[in-house]
Amino acid sequence: MSQSKKRVFVGLGCALAFLLVGCSSSDEGASPPLPIEQFPQQFSSALCEAIGPCCLDAALPYVAATCKRSATEDFTNQVTSAEGKLKYDAAAAGECLSQYKAALAKCQLPTELTASACAGIFKGALATGAACNVRLNECAVGYCQESLDANGNYVGKCVVDAGSGSAPVPEGGRCDISPNCAEGLYCTFDSLCAKTIPLGGTCADYYACQKGTYCTSEGVCTAQHDSGPCGGATDFDACSDGSYCSSLDSFSGGECLKKKPDGYSCRSREECLNGLCNGTCGPASAAMTTTCAGDFPISSSSARPDGI
């Protein structure tokens, strides 16, 4: 199977992580659990009260009552849609709420880099083989696979790929993608987990090489570098973790450049140390017309694309 396949899931938990994250843990210690019946009201109140000053500073329309009404309805709908398909974690919700308040205190949009608790609020509960919604992470294990039924309608079913369980696949085991394999292994074109290839070894794809090295166009595992050629006919993967390739397309070559701290202009997240680019490196402003009106877009941080 091609190494270009990977599995990442659209889920309510991931969606909430996009919206309700982006802050450091509270200095007041662990936050109290938040019962599910309090979830819509608590989150909408915290979200709208925190966004208010940001909206006013940005000269954007803001009415607290309108914001809270819209947000409460949205979160209530999410809880309703989760019933029987997703498990709610009250402890994760309480911690996420605390982290969320800290983010909005800085008028910054949440990010998924500093609030892992938010991703754990809702988790899939459906068993393998159960009907599911491909847009949500409803499966306890694996993912929701979409297909056509006898009537030509698209339907979803929870399925399990090799390696999608809790235990990493050992050497020699069947796999679909390299992340399925245990540490120090990669998924070969024959869909088997094998040891990664050391520096100087012959390779066929990026995942075959050990960490800190990359597979060149000549098929040799070579050390990544902080500066030097990359992209185009060279290799996008030539740059080290602390640098990025100045070339943004697959045709022209570029140079490995040092990643930028917050505040520096950027064109892509790869340029930034924290992986966030909003014209400049760093979190985006939380004050937007939609958020100030209580219309908080729940965007998925993942889908099930074909490339890794």
Any domain includes 96: yes
Any domain includes 275: no
User: Residues near 303 by Cβ (< 8 Å), separated by ≥ 6?
Assistant: 8, 10
How many CB atoms sit inside 10 A of residue 119's CB?
22
Structure tokens, 75: 């979160």
Q: Hey, is 255 helix, strand or coil?
A: strand
Residue 175: give the domain boundaries.
169-195
Burial profile 61-78: b = 16 or more Cβ within 10 angstroms, e = fewer: ebeeeebbebbbebbeeb
The reply to whether 145 and 116 lie within a common domain is no
pLDDT tens digits, 45-91? 998 999 999 999 999 999 999 999 999 999 898 889 888 889 999 99
The reply to whether 136 and 48 lie within a common domain is no
Query: How many domains does the chain contain in total?
Result: 3
The reply to whether 5 and 115 lie within a common domain is yes
Cα angle 82-83-88, degrees, rounded to a multiple of 5: 65
> Is the pLDDT assigned to residue 123 strictly greater than 50?
yes
**What secondary structure does DSSP assign to 124-180, as a single string?**
E-BPTT-B--TTS--BSSSEEEEEE-TTS-EEEEEE--TT-SSSPB-TT-B-SSGGG
Any domain includes 154: yes
pTM > 0.75:
no
pLDDT tens digits, 262-271? 889 999 989 9
pLDDT tens digits, 178-232? 888 899 999 998 889 999 999 999 998 878 999 999 998 889 999 999 999 988 7
The reply to whether 153 and 51 lie within a common domain is no
**What secondary structure does DSSP assign to 190-215, as a single string?**
TSBEEEPBPTT-B-SSGGGBPTTEEE
The reply to whether 79 and 47 lie within a common domain is yes
Phi-psi category of residue 232: left, alpha or beta, with phi > 0 → left and psi -120 to 50 → alpha? left
* Ramachandran angles phi, psi of 202, nearest 5°: -80, 135
Any domain includes 69: yes
Any domain includes 153: yes
Q: What is the per-residue pLDDT for 164?
A: 55
pLDDT confidence band for 137 (50 / 70 / 90): confident
The reply to whether 29 and 112 lie within a common domain is yes
